[in-house]
Chain A
Amino acid sequence: MERTTALAVAAAIAFFIANVEPLMGLSLAGREASTTIAGGVRQMWLHGEKITALLIALFAMVAPALEIGFLLAILISVRRPPAPRWVGTLLRWAEIAGSWSMVEVMMLGILVSLVKIAAVARVVPGAGIFAAGGVILLLAAMSSSFDPREAWSRVRWAHGDGPERPLSSGGSDAGEGEG
């Protein structure tokens, strides 16, 4: 839990940098340009592809932010069990947010696009791209060190008097099973 918390805090910081700093700079015939993640979304929107713009914003910005934020809230609130029931709701939302967070796919997309752009212009990596690389590693480490079953075992039960009750007692619960 301690390690996961540390990784989540680091991921939050790296994610912030990845979103405010430019990913790439470019110079072509004396003209300069650079873009952030939000810049790509904005241009997509301005060019009329509004649904795609929203999807990219969702997968590259909103979902990872929620994934990190929910996890931090969960980790803080399960420190003293039993955790309130809304932590269970957050656990569920964190899983959904995680399944739609695609920072690593975005990174591969940027690489693919760069190969084509590098043929016509000079590109300079910005701080954002390194931070995004860090986000990918930290998110992977964070989700592999986080054990949702451990967190679930500390949440107050909806019906009954868990989590203190031993799993074998009574007839309503029978043990732990994977989704």
Chain B
Amino acid sequence: MTAFARTGMGEGFVSCEVCGLLSRPAGADDPGECPRCGGELEFRRRDAIQRTWALVAAAAICYLPANILPILRTTTLRSVETDTIISGVIRLYASGTWYLALIVLVASVMIPLAKLAALAYLLITVRQGSVRNRGERTRLYRVMEFIGRWSMVDVFAAAFAVGLLQLRPLMSVSPLPGVLFFSAVVILTILAAESFDPRLIWDSNQGKQETDD
């Protein structure tokens, strides 16, 4: 690894985010359009940092109600029970399928939280122009993009239970507002990860020494 990270932008290239073609920009300020797909070229996504911060903040606000509010109500002849994400995990654990309990705990509770922390970390290090662990940070971004969708698992589980168990008055299941906050967290974290521009990781205050990676 050389002392300085060479970026496409530094070398006078711009990559198209639509079709992947690497081309010479029309100008240094406005790179123009992609010669192949006609998409608008950008050296870096416009306002990527601000947009990502806004979505991270919105997701963080929804995270608490998503985990505290009940997501399902089960009505039987004898009882009415409500379940939150966590109580669903405990129920799974109690029924002997600890591995499913673990999957739901990781997917629903830990992944959204880890994504928020990871995005905040990436945003802060990019803002500081940090040159450390660039390879690791890029990998972190890729893993985050890949696992985000799995957080939806509890919403699908809820929808399936609601769809199947409508045997009123014997047993019926209905969704509660927690499910809305929970889906909001998942969607907002996916959108936040998408609005971040991983190319920013490789831009640093020019002249700083590469210390790692």
Contacts and interface: CB of A to CB of B under 8 A. Distances in A.
Given A59-B152, A152-B20, A109 B167 contact: no
B35 A172 contact: yes
Interface in B72-124: 88, 91-92, 95, 97, 100, 103-104, 107
A44 B17 contact: no
Contacts of A176: 20-22
Contacts of B179: 49, 52
Interface residues of A, number: 64
Contacts of B21: 152, 173, 176-177
A106 to B, nearest CB: 4
A26 B172 CA distance: 13
B159 A41 contact: yes
Contacts of B159: 40-41, 43-44, 52-53, 56, 109
Interface in A114-139: 114-117, 119-121
Contacts of B13: 174, 177
Contacts of A177: 8, 13, 15, 20-22
B1 interface: no
Contacts of A178: 15, 20
A91 B179 CA distance: 33
A109 B180 contact: no
B157 A162 contact: no
Given A85-B38, A115-B97, A176-B21, A40 B171 contact: no
Contacts of A152: 19-21, 36-37
B24 A31 contact: no
Pick from B37, B38, B175, B179 the residue with the most CB of A within 10 Å.
B37
A39 interface: yes
Nearest to A178: B20
Q: Which of A44, A60, A114, A171 has the most CB of B within 10 A?
A: A44
A64 to B, nearest CB: 13
Interface residues of B, number: 55
A35 B163 contact: yes
A115 B37 contact: no
B38 to A, nearest CB: 3
Nearest to B164: A35
B23 interface: yes
A144 B190 CA distance: 22
Contacts of A59: 152
A110 B97 CA distance: 14
- 8 cross-chain pairs, A with B, having the tightest CB-CB distances, nearest first: A109-B156, A40-B163, A158-B38, A177-B22, A35-B163, A109-B157, A113-B157, A40-B159
Interface of B: 8, 13, 15-24, 33-39, 88, 91-92, 95, 97, 100, 103-104, 107, 149-150, 152-167, 170-171, 174-175, 177, 179-180, 183, 187
Interface of A: 23-24, 26, 28-29, 31, 33-36, 39-44, 47-49, 51-53, 55-56, 59-60, 85, 88, 91-92, 102, 105-106, 108-117, 119-121, 148-149, 152, 155, 157-160, 162, 171-179
7 contacts: A26-B165, A40-B160, A40-B162, A49-B175, A52-B180, A172-B24, A173-B24
Given A52-B159, A53-B159, A174-B22, 4 more contacts: A23-B160, A112-B92, A117-B161, A157-B36
